[in-house]
Amino acid sequence: MSVRHAVLGLLAQRPRHGYELRAAFEAFVGGRENWEVNPAQIYATLTRLEESGLVREHGMAQASGPEKRIYSITRQGKDALREWFSTAIEREHQRDEFFIKLMLCLATGQADPYKLIQTQRAKLYQDLHNITVQRTRANPQAELARILLYDKAIMYLEADLRWMDLVQARLDEIMRQPMPEPDLKPRGRPRKMQD
């Protein structure tokens, strides 16, 4: 949902074509490692933005080479951008894939939950190490923004690890509790509320 706004923001700087937008986007997020965006997504986003009237294309044919299609932002586009700046970003929903994996592991008995936790923890440590290395490689004099991005990743990974400890400590207790069952509601019009 944010590539759309990023494209809009980059076009607010100056008119650009698709390929250029992609390069600019990746420069902004601190490199392709952090947030790679496929060309197809840029082009699809541009046509949707154009359909919404937030962006306009001037078909600027190239003397040689493939045609570049230059896009620029419209009045409506600027309004949409201001709107984006003025509202907070909605937190990602609390969708934890590891959690349902653990629950399904307990429910089906198809795997060892302790091993599950151990595998995931090892991965987290490895990721933490890799990012810490990248962080120390960055230059604080010129790449402060990128360093802050790494800091956030590190903070999240540390939280993940602390949470893993928590889960492990409570695992026996969880296993003693009943598995959540879907409560099928009665069909038809509900009885008149009594209480």
Partner DNA sequence: TGAAAAATCTAGTTACTCGTATTATAATTT
Partner DNA sequence: AAATTATAATACGAGTAACTAGATTTTTCA
Residue 115: CB partners within 8 Å, gap ≥ 6? none
CB of 173 to its own copies, least distance (A): 6
Exposed / middle / buried, residue 49 (Cβ in 10 Å: 0-12, 13-18, 19+):
buried
Rounded Cα distance between 63 and 60, Å, is: 10
* Residue 63 beta carbon to DNA: minimum distance, rounded to whole angstroms: 8
Tell me if 142 contacts DNA by CB under 7 A.
Answer: no
Tokens standing for residue 54:
């937030």
The interface region with its own copies, picked from 39-47, 53-61, 78-86 by CB under 8 A, is 78-86
Q: Residue from 48, 114, 151, 165 that binds its own copies (CB under 8 A)?
A: 151
Whole-angstrom CA distances from 100 to 94, 105, 179 are 12, 8, 12
CB of 76 to its own copies, least distance (A): 14
Among 14, 27, 67, 79, binds DNA (CB under 7 A): 67
| DSSP per-residue codes, 145-158 | HHHHHHHHHHHHHH
The first and second tokens of residue 49, run together, are 């933005």
> Which position among 48, 53, 62, 123 is part of the footprint of its own copies (CB under 8 A)?
123
Site for its own copies (CB under 8 A): which residue of 61, 66, 75, 181? 181
Span near its own copies by CB under 8 A; candidates 40-48, 53-61, 85-93: 85-93
How far apart, in whole angstroms, are the C-alpha atoms of residue 189 and residue 192?
9
- Kindly tell me which of 133 and 155 has the beta carbon lying closer to its own copies: 155
Contact set for its own copies, span 31-60 (CB under 8 A)? 34-35
